[in-house]
Amino acid sequence: MSKSKDIREAVEAELAFDPLVNPANITVKNMTGEVALNGTVPSYPQYLEAAAAGRRVAGVTNVHNHLEVVLPPGDYRDDPALTTTANDVLALNITVPDGVEATARDGNLRLTGTVSYGSQRAAAEIAVAGLTGVRNIKDDIEVSHNTDPVDVTVLVQDALERYALVADDSDVTVDTIGNTVMLSGHVDTWAERDAVVGAAWMANGVVEVDDNLFITG
C-alpha cells in the first residue's frame, strides 16, 4: 500500500473516530502529505474540527479545508437574530474587549473592532463559532500595535524556550518586520506548529504572523 493511500485512509479513520465530526459527506484527497477535505458538514464547529482531525494524523503537512457548511433547515437564523445573538455572546465574554462587534449576512459572521492581543481576536472567534446558524466567520478585528518590534521578537523567543512542545534543539527562528512576526524553520508535528504560532500571537502588538514553518511529520 502506498504512503499516499496510508495517509488518506488514516485521515478518513480519524474523521470517523472523532465524535465531533459526521464524515458522511466528506471526501479526503492526499498528495504527498497535502490533504484536501471536500464535501459538506452541517455546522461550523464540524468544519473546524474536521481540519483539526486531519492535522492530527502523522505524515500530514498541510490541510486544505474546502468543506462547505450546509445548515439543516432548523438551524437557520435570519441576519438580525444571529447578529443580536453574536453580539450578546461577545459582550458577555470576559476575554473579549469592549468594542468588538459582529454582523451576520446569510450565516456568515463578520467580526470588527480593535484588540491589544491576537489571543483576544482568537477568543472572539471561539466565542461565536458554536452559535446555531453560523456558516463561516470573517475576522476583520484589528490588533493595535504600540510595542517595539525588537521587544516582540524577544518575547516570542523567550516563550518558545519555555514551551514543552518545542524541542530544545529546534531550529525555529523568529524575525520581526514592523509588527509582523515571521516564523521559519522545522517542526515535527502540527501540535508543535500550533504552539509556535500561538506564542507569536500572544505577544502584545503583533498584527500579523507570517507562518513559514515546515512540518516534517
Beta-carbon contacts of residue 2 (< 8 Å; ≥ 6 apart) = none
Report domain extents, the chain.
3-69, 73-143, 149-215
149-215: in CATH 3.30.1340.30: yes
Q: Where residue 1 falls among pLDDT bands split at 50, 70, 90? A: very low
The span from the CA of 217 to the CA of 214, in Å, is: 9
Rounded mean pLDDT of 199-207?
80
* pLDDT for 151 beyond 80: no
Rounded Cα distance between 32 and 35, Å, is 8
* Mean pLDDT value across residues 144-156: 71
Q: Indicate the CATH number for domain 73-143.
A: 3.30.1340
Question: Which residue, 5, 25, 14, is CA-closest to 51?
Answer: 14
Closest CA to 23 of 4, 5, 39, 1: 39
pTM: 0.80
CA 32 to chain centre: 22
Q: State which fold the 3-69 domain adopts.
A: Histidine-containing Protein; Chain: A; (3.30.1340)
- Which among 6-10, 179-183, 192-196, 212-216 has the top mean pLDDT? 6-10
Q: How confident is the model at residue 204 (pLDDT cuts 50, 70, 90)?
A: confident
CA distance 128 to 7: 32
pLDDT tens-place string over residues 54-76: 999 988 988 999 999 999 999 99
